[in-house]
Amino acid sequence: MSDARDEYYSLHPSTRLLVADFAHALAAKLRKAEIKYDRNAGWQNPGWMDECREKLREHVEKGDPLDVAAYCAFLWFHDQSTTRRV
């Protein structure tokens, strides 16, 4: 984790601000979804990766980058690809 933090702090200040602002916007979006759908950390369950990939594709078509980022984050957490493994 420290390598990632070192890389973060090495970013150009404008890029670092972009990343921080996006992370805060994503956190706010996820919190609203937790409240709206009465969910918490269900994304930690590894059993929904195929559904997660499907939701990712759906949300790409819908056009909200924050929704796309959320599904990418869930896949990243599980060390999964955005494409199905054959």
- The answer to whether residue 16 sits within a structural domain is yes
DSSP 8-class letter at 18: H
Does pLDDT of 84 surpass 70? Answer: yes
What average pLDDT does range 36-46 have in this prediction? 92
Dump the DSSP string for 36-81.
Answer: HHT--SGGG-GGGHHHHHHHHHHHHHHT-HHHHHHHHHHHHHTT--
The verdict on residue 23 lying in a domain is yes
Cα 50 to Cα 58: distance, rounded to the nearest angstrom: 13
Would residue 52 count as lying in a domain?
Answer: yes
DSSP 26: H
Residue 28 inside a domain? The answer is yes
Provide mean pLDDT across the span 12-20.
97
Q: Which domain holds residue 70?
A: 2-77
Confirm whether 37 is domain-assigned: yes
**83 within domain boundaries:** no
Residue 82 lies in a domain: no
Number of domains in the chain: 1
**pTM for the whole thing?**
0.88
User: Please, are residues 26 and 76 in contact by the beta-carbon 8 Å criterion?
Assistant: no
pLDDT tens profile 19-38: 999 999 999 999 999 999 99
